[in-house]
């Protein structure tokens, strides 16, 4: 069964000694989406899960080690997400494999990840540069009392229907936990929208209420998108969470209203 409990998460595993695409562990998206009333057949958003891989190595045909970094993009329309620890183990399995050049390796990775996700996955060598200026306006300095750290409280979200705005609100206080190991996942989350002005204090309390919530990164972002959409009724919305690195990988799930252009992979957050 493709559940987190049947993956390598939370288990002691041997370092792979040879190339093995079977290490990749897919998790169906449908179950988590059904929990928040998202219809797989009529997704209310577009989006992708963008990974940055910092630890990628292989051997050339003469046995000389090669290294690179990579950007990987999985469409949110894929029926399955790729579990992160299995992704790391898969990349490790490439360390002793021989390839006839970087392009041969890139095509191999794209083929394996696409088979795991069930949809075409884009792979490019290189990483976007670090971003020096804020993505939007931070709400972290608000003077608010907070006493709820989970589960997520959608009732904190509200908006003023008499005041229409377009803005990007950012919080670096996003934290959730792995649903299997309980390990913390840290992120900077941005909410860009056009519509009734969102109450910032309520949004900050809502973000912090994920602090003890156990859910995969991709699922958290879809939950945020869904609940902000329902509670605040924006004309359009995009939500992105830029998670910090673990095991040489970071992930950046992005979900947006249909018609909103996909952001280019042009930067990373300082914490990444």
Binding-site residues: 82-85, 217-218, 246-247
Report d(CA 249, CA 54) in Å as an integer: 6
- Asked if residues 234 and 194 have their Cβ atoms less than 8 Å apart, the reply is yes
Q: Please report which helix (H) or strand (E) contains residue 50, including its range.
A: strand 46-59
Task: Name the binding residues for NADPH.
Answer: 84-85, 246-247
Among 251, 74, 98, smallest CA distance to 176 is for 251
Strand 122-125 relative to strand 65-75, pairing: antiparallel
First to last CA, the chain: 33
Marked catalytic residue, from 49, 76, 112, 185:
185
The alpha carbon torsion through 74, 80, 81, 83 (nearest 10 deg) reads: -130
Helix (H, G, I), strand (E, B) or coil at 24: coil
DSSP 98: B
H helices, E strands: number in the chain: 5, 10
49 is catalytic: no
Helix (H, G, I), strand (E, B) or coil at 132: coil
Helix (H, G, I), strand (E, B) or coil at 91: helix
Please, what's the b/e burial string for 144-167 (b: 16 or more CB within 10 A of its CB; e: otherwise)?
Answer: eeeeeeeebbbebbbbeeeeeeee
Task: Name the binding residues for substrate.
Answer: 82-84, 217-218
Neighbours of 220 (CB within 10 A): 25
185 is catalytic: yes
Report d(CA 6, CA 40) in Å as an integer: 23
Marked catalytic residue, from 76, 116, 178, 220:
178
Please identify every residue annotated as catalytic: 178, 185
């Amino acid at each position: 069964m493709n559940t987190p409990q049947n993956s390598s998460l939370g288990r002691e595993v041997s370092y792979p000694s040879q190339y093995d695409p079977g290490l990749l562990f897919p998790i169906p998206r449908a179950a988590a989406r059904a929990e928040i009333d998202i219809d797989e057949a009529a997704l209310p958003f577009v989006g992708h899960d963008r990974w940055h891989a910092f630890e990628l190595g292989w051997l050339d045909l003469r046995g000389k080690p090669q290294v690179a970094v990579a950007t990987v993009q999985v469409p949110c329309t894929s029926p399955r997400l790729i579990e992160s620890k299995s992704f790391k183990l898969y990349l490790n399995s490439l360390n002793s494999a021989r390839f006839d050049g970087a392009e041969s390796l890139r095509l191999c990775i794209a083929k394996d990840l696409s088979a795991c996700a069930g949809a075409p996955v884009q792979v490019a060598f290189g990483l976007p540069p670090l971003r020096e200026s804020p993505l939007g306006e931070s709400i972290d300095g608000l003077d608010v009392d907070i006493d709820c750290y989970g589960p997520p409280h959608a009732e904190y979200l509200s908006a003023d229907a008499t005041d229409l705005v377009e803005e990007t609100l950012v919080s670096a206080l996003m934290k959730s936990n792995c649903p299997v190991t309980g390990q913390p996942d840290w992120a900077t989350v941005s909410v860009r929208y056009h519509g009734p002005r969102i109450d910032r204090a309520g949004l900050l309390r809502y973000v912090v209420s994920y602090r003890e919530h156990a859910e995969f990164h991709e699922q958290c972002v879809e939950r945020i998108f869904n609940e902000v959409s329902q509670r605040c009724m924006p004309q359009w919305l995009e939500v992105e969470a830029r998670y910090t690195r673990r095991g040489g990988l970071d992930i950046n799930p992005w979900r947006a209203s249909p018609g909103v252009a996909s952001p280019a992979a042009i930067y990373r957050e300082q914490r990444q």
